[in-house]
Amino acid sequence: MPQVLLEVEVVAGVAFAALLLVLVLTVLLWRTSRRLTALRREHARAFPDSAEDVVSVLGRHGAELAEIRQDLATVHGNTEHLRDLLRGTVSRVGVVRYDAFEDMGGALSFSTALLDERGDGIVISAINGRSETRAYGKPVRGGVSEHNLSNEESEAITAAIEQRPPSTLPPATRRRRRAS
C-alpha cells in the first residue's frame, strides 16, 4: 500500500478549519439551547396546568373550536326559529287617550292598537260616557282596517307602527266619526 504524506501546513489548515467549525457549531448550539429554554418558559407561562406540548394543545383547541362552531350553528338555527315565532306576536302597541264627548273631561276614552311586526292585529276602543261605556274591536291587516276607523283609532295604529309612547289628544284635535 502506498503511503500518503500530508504536508504539515495542510494538516494545520484543516485542523484550524475544523476548530473554527466546532466553535461556530458550539455558539449555534448555545444560542439554540437558550431559545429552547425561553420557548419552554413561554409555553409553561401560556399553559401553566398543561403537560402537553404546543402541537397537542393547538390540536385540542382546534377540535374545541369545531364543536363551538357546531353549537353556534345550532344556536343560530334556534334563534331564527324564535325570530319567526316572534314576528307574529304583539310587538307594537299604540295608545291614544281622548275626550269622546265635549261634556266629559279627563281623557277617559281610549283607542289601543295591538300589532305585530307586519302591522297585523287589532285596534280596541273604549268610549266612556256619563252613564255607559262602549267598547269596539276592529281587525287590522298591514296597518289598515276594512272597517271605518275613527281619527283616534287611526292615530293609535300610526303610533303603534311608529312605536311612539302613549299620548293624549287635546280636545281640539278630536273629530270623531261614528264607528260602525
Confidence class for position 49, pLDDT limits 50, 70, 90: confident
The predicted-structure confidence for 157-179, as pLDDT tens digits, reads as follows 999 999 888 887 776 554 444 44
Is a pLDDT exceeding 90 seen at residue 70?
yes
Confidence class for position 129, pLDDT limits 50, 70, 90: confident
Q: How far is CA 163 from CA 72, 83, 84, in A?
A: 32, 19, 20
The predicted-structure confidence for 139-149, as pLDDT tens digits, reads as follows 999 999 999 99
Average pLDDT over every residue of 25-46: 91
Instruction: Output the pLDDT for position 28.
Output: 96
Q: What share of the chain has pLDDT > 90, as a percent? A: 55
Average pLDDT, the chain: 87
Instruction: Output the pLDDT for position 30.
Output: 96
Instruction: Output the pLDDT for position 178.
Output: 45
